[in-house]
Each structure stands twice: as C-alpha cells, then as structure tokens.
Amino acid sequence: GAVVSQHPSRVICKSGTSVKIECRSLDFQATTMFWYRQFPKQSLMLMATSNEGSKATYEQGVEKDKFLINHASLTLSTLTVTSAHPEDSSFYICSARVGGGGTGNTIYFGEGSWLTVV
C-alpha cells in the first residue's frame, strides 16, 4: 500500500508552547490529507480535512486557531498545536487519500504522533 510518514512519533512539550507535526506522502501525491485525534481507548475523531493549496476544513468543535493546518505541497501537510495544554495530550494521526476521489480510492494512515503536554 501507499506510504504515509508522520514525524515526530513522540513529542513532549511544555504547557503554553506550540508543537508541529508533519505528515508526508512518500510515494504518491496527496491533494487531500486528514488529521485525526484519538484519546486512549476511544475512537478516531476527525479534526480537519487538509486540502493542498487551500484552507483546511475543520470539523465542528475543533478550534482552527488552535490547530493550525498547512498543506503547502502535494506531499506535505503540517498540524501545529498552538499554546498547548495538558488536555491536548493525545495521539494525533494523519491520513492521506490515494486516488482521484471516486470509489476507487483508499485512505492510508501515518504512524501517528503521541503528544504529551506537561
């Protein structure tokens, strides 16, 4: 399958600081990437849809000024958690869609990034 790489895999930051997570599609171009958050023993929660060259589409309840998403190229999307607080500690996962958007495409996930805010 397609390869999606996420970095860093684990990050610890101090409360009030910002942290950036990168998501790269390694062997394909991804016009659309997705960012999820998953708390322990809970399901994936879609945070936003990242579209190359345009503004991200955020899900209801997700603060766009706190979770900044930039999709500057066809292979890279970044999520910046600004002014992080302990309640932002979670597993953040990106995914990318392979294909043109019709029935013949699938979604592959990055390895995920564990964020701990202390």
Partner 1 sequence: QKEVEQNSGPLSVPEGAIASLNCTYSDRGSQSFFWYRQYSGKSPELIMFIYSNGDKEDGRFTAQLNKASQYVSLLIRDSQPSDSATYLCAVKISGGYQKVTFGTGTKLQVIP
Residue ranges in contact with partner 1 by CB under 8 A = 1, 6, 32, 34, 42-44, 46, 49, 57, 91, 93, 97, 101, 103-112
Chain centroid to CA 89: 14
Q: Output the smallest distance, CB 100 to partner 1, in A.
A: 10
For partner 1, the closer CB: 49 or 82: 49
Q: Are 17 and 84 in contact (CB under 8 A)?
A: yes
Rg of the chain over all Cα atoms, to the nearest angstrom: 14
For partner 1, the closer CB: 86 or 104: 104
Q: Output the smallest distance, CB 80 to partner 1, in A.
A: 20
Q: Output the smallest distance, CB 10 to partner 1, in A.
A: 11
Direct distance between the N- and C-terminal alpha carbons of the chain, in angstroms, rounded to an integer: 36
Q: Quick one: tokens of 38?
A: 């998953």
